[in-house]
Amino acid sequence: MSSVVPAFNRGDPLSKRPGVDTQLAASLARALPLPPFRLAHISDLHLPPPERGAGPELQPKRLLSRYAWRRKRLRHDPAALAAIAADVRAADPDHVAVTGDLTNFSRLEELEAAALWLGGLGPPQAVTVSPGNHDALVGRSGAARFAPWTPWLGDEPELEFPKVRRRGPVALVNLCSAQPTALHLAQGVLDPEQLQRLPAILRRLRAEGAFRILLLHHPPAHGVVSRRKSLRQGPELRSILAAEGCELVLHGHGHQATVAALEGPEGAIPVLGAPSASSSGRHGPAARWHLFEIDRGPHGWAVRVEARGLRGGGGGVERLGRYALAPSSSVFHRPS
Ligand SMILES: [Fe+2]
Ligand SMILES: [Fe+2]
């Protein structure tokens, strides 16, 4: 048996070579449990802006953001982010989801620097980015603004969201809530086209038996962040999810570790927010990331989450907790 095991990798079709007993091969393949799909979630990197090329700033929103950055820059520590990124790479997940705010002022040179950083995290096929409000402070709307990140947004060159990526048993449905808003607002906006396309996408992926994970920067559950930072189309998105469902929603933006539940057609949908992966811990939770293990068990999907991060006050990245999610019932949690 051990000589057979290495021949079967996740997703491999069974051999069609003449002389191979495909029935026996199929029963052997069934007998071998597939390893869980492992997804890393990091968010709100707020990479330090490049020194050169900034130039005089004429956009009031960027000026305001630069003023805020001067106050808040000590909240973000490149060393903390480097430690988190090293820990993610060491965990060797199947895929990494990055839910936005990679930059601070959404300047082109920041987007290009962020693309370089993403390249160090993993190949674009294994990393998906959902942009945040800081990645779209001003300027034109639409995916073209994120051109340096195109390989990380989805598999298709088309620019429209939602973009879908199939990876093993998982379907990543990448929404973009990053659009320029008024001066003092950090709200999220889902344009009507995204909302229009989403139900059919969720329905199709459900029919395919995929574990559907929605990615977006702004939290879709009511009350997770203040109105000034909220998702404008939260009610519309919640009603789509109530009708079509999905198995997990991941977001950033709040710079807090949050758990919420949204109504789905077969029970609660878990919604998890990750804090900033570069947080120094001086104001709010220290840098952290989440590792999801997704498994199809005899009674449906099983999801485990490991929170890993810095505890603040020195030390390296360590396990902060381990929990089990219940995608079709009351959400959470069982420390182990
Ligand atoms: Fe942020
Ligand atoms: Fe944000």
Place 152 in a pLDDT band, splitting at 50, 70 and 90. very high
Kindly identify the ligand whose nearest atom is closest to the C-alpha of 137: 2
Contact criterion met (CB below 8 Å) for 194 and 226:
no
Kindly give the distance from the C-alpha atom of residue 116 to the centroid of ligand 2, in angstroms, as a whole number: 21
* Candidate from 67-76, 103-112, 326-335 with smallest mean pLDDT: 326-335
Q: What is the pLDDT of residue 14?
A: 43
Q: What is the pLDDT of residue 1?
A: 30
Kindly give the distance from the C-alpha atom of residue 3 to the centroid of ligand 1, in angstroms, as a whole number: 49
Contact criterion met (CB below 8 Å) for 201 and 242:
no
Contact criterion met (CB below 8 Å) for 110 and 104:
yes
* Candidate from 159-168, 243-252, 265-274, 311-320 with smallest mean pLDDT: 311-320
Interatomic CA distance for residues 94 and 37, integer angstroms: 6
pTM (two decimals): 0.85
User: Which regions of the chain does DSSP assign to beta strands (E)?
Assistant: 37-42, 95-98, 127-129, 163-167, 170-174, 211-215, 248-251, 258-264, 267-273, 288-297, 300-309, 318-325
> How are beta strands 267-273 and 258-264 bridged, if at all?
antiparallel
Q: What is the pLDDT of residue 78?
A: 93
pLDDT at 45 exceeding the cut of 90? yes
Residue scoring higher pLDDT (16 or 79): 79
pLDDT at 224 exceeding the cut of 80? yes
Q: What is the DSSP string of 124-136?
A: GGGEEE---GGGS
Kindly give the distance from the C-alpha atom of residue 276 to the centroid of ligand 2, in angstroms, as a whole number: 10
Mean pLDDT of the chain: 85
Residue scoring higher pLDDT (19 or 309): 309
Q: What is the pLDDT of residue 139?
A: 72
Kindly list the structural domains of the chain, giving each domain's residue range(s) and its CATH number in brackets, ordered by start: 1-32 (no CATH), 36-325 (3.60.21.10)
* Tokens matching residue 174: 């990448």
Kindly give the distance from the C-alpha atom of residue 276 to the centroid of ligand 1, in angstroms, as a whole number: 7
Place 3 in a pLDDT band, splitting at 50, 70 and 90. very low
pLDDT at 332 exceeding the cut of 80? no
Kindly give the distance from the C-alpha atom of residue 252 to the centroid of ligand 2, in angstroms, as a whole number: 7
CA nearest to 147, candidates 133, 166, 131: 131
The β-bridge partners of 231 are: 188
pLDDT at 168 exceeding the cut of 80? yes
The β-bridge partners of 214 are: 173, 249
pLDDT in tens, 94-141: 999 999 999 998 888 999 999 999 999 999 999 999 999 999 987 766
pLDDT at 6 exceeding the cut of 50? no
Kindly identify the ligand whose nearest atom is closest to the C-alpha of 47: 1
* Tokens matching residue 270: 């878990």
The β-bridge partners of 262 are: 269
Judging by beta carbons within 10 Å of its beta carbon (0-12, 13-18, 19+), is residue 310 exposed, middle or buried?
buried
CA nearest to 252, candidates 74, 149, 130, 107: 130
* Candidate from 16-25, 146-155, 182-191 with smallest mean pLDDT: 16-25
Kindly give the distance from the C-alpha atom of residue 252 to the centroid of ligand 1, in angstroms, as a whole number: 7
Torsion angle (degrees, nearest 10) of CA 192, 196, 198, 202: 160
pLDDT at 11 exceeding the cut of 50? no
> How are beta strands 300-309 and 95-98 bridged, if at all?
unpaired
* Candidate from 196-205, 231-240, 277-286 with smallest mean pLDDT: 277-286
Kindly give the distance from the C-alpha atom of residue 230 to the centroid of ligand 2, in angstroms, as a whole number: 10
pLDDT at 142 exceeding the cut of 90? no
Kindly give the distance from the C-alpha atom of residue 8 to the centroid of ligand 1, in angstroms, as a whole number: 42
* Candidate from 124-128, 143-147, 171-175 with smallest mean pLDDT: 143-147
Q: What are the residue ranges of helices labelled H in 92-126?
A: 108-121
pLDDT at 336 exceeding the cut of 50? no
Residue scoring higher pLDDT (52 or 201): 201
Interatomic CA distance for residues 124 and 289, integer angstroms: 19
Interatomic CA distance for residues 48 and 215, integer angstroms: 24
Residues 320-325 have a mean pLDDT of 93
Determine the distance from the C-alpha atom of residue 126 to the mean position of all C-alpha atoms in its chain, rounded to a whole number: 12
